[in-house]
Structure 1
């Protein structure tokens, strides 16, 4: 994680320089604000990764002589099948279309979003997957 932390911190420095140059040169507030927000996001991620890297063991990506196989192993648990992201995608699409076509569409998308979110969070707490 040390490499990623340094990468994001250097990216934040670059974005800060670009934000200052862009702000002085263009005097355009929206783009300047977006670049400063991008700087803030990069510095937060970089600080988190650098902070976390001090507290965890060095990974294979921190060893310059490591092989690809050194980082092999279990990555985590991924759901083999789930319909909930489809409901969240449809609800999200309707909600964003509500911004374009009218806020009344958000009232139809909110229940779909809530059902999809509820189903995704509690997917493994009911039915066949429920732990006894």
Structure 2
């Protein structure tokens, strides 16, 4: 993760320089703003990866002599049967469609998003997985 964090930090520096050059030469607000926002996103991702790399053990990608097979195995826990991301995705799509078509679509999107969030947060607090 250290390498990815450094890559994003270097990318953020490059995007910042390009945003300044683009803003000075073009004097166009939308593209300059988008480039500065991309700079902010690169900084956030780079900071997160660098911060996380300090807390976890070095992965195979951090060793120069590692093979691809060295990184095989379990990467974490992912819920195999969750339908909540589908609800969130449909609700988010309808919400963004509401910006283009009409704000009234948010009345249909908000319940889907809330149901998806509620279900995803409390997914493992039901049935046999419930703590007492």
Interval containing the TM-score (normalised by the shorter chain): 0.7 to 0.9
Aligned to 2:96: 96
Aligned to 1:125: 125
Q: 15-24 vs 93-102, which deviates more?
A: 93-102
Q: 1:47 to 1:86 in 2, by over 3 A?
A: closer
Question: What is the deviation of 1:14?
Answer: 1.1
Aligned to 2:24: 24
Q: Which runs of 5+ in 1 are unaligned?
A: none
Structure 1 CA distance for aligned equivalents of residues 57 and 127 of structure 2: 38
User: What secondary structure does 2:124 align onto?
Assistant: helix
Aligned to 1:116: 116
**TM-score normalised to the size of structure 2?**
0.86
Q: 15-24 vs 49-58, which deviates more?
A: 49-58
Aligned to 2:13: 13
Structure 1 CA distance for aligned equivalents of residues 121 and 58 of structure 2: 32
Aligned to 2:107: 107
User: Aligned pair 1:79/2:72, yes or no?
Assistant: no
CA RMSD of aligned residues (A): 2.0
**TM-score normalised to the size of structure 1?**
0.86
Q: 1:66 to 1:16 in 2, by over 3 A?
A: same
Within a 5 Å distance, the mapping from 1:62-73 to structure 2 comes to 62-73=62-73
Structure 2 CA distance for aligned equivalents of residues 108 and 6 of structure 1: 42
Q: Which runs of 5+ in 2 are unaligned?
A: none
Question: What is the deviation of 1:128?
Answer: 4.9
User: What secondary structure does 1:125 align onto?
Assistant: coil
Structure 2 CA distance for aligned equivalents of residues 54 and 86 of structure 1: 33
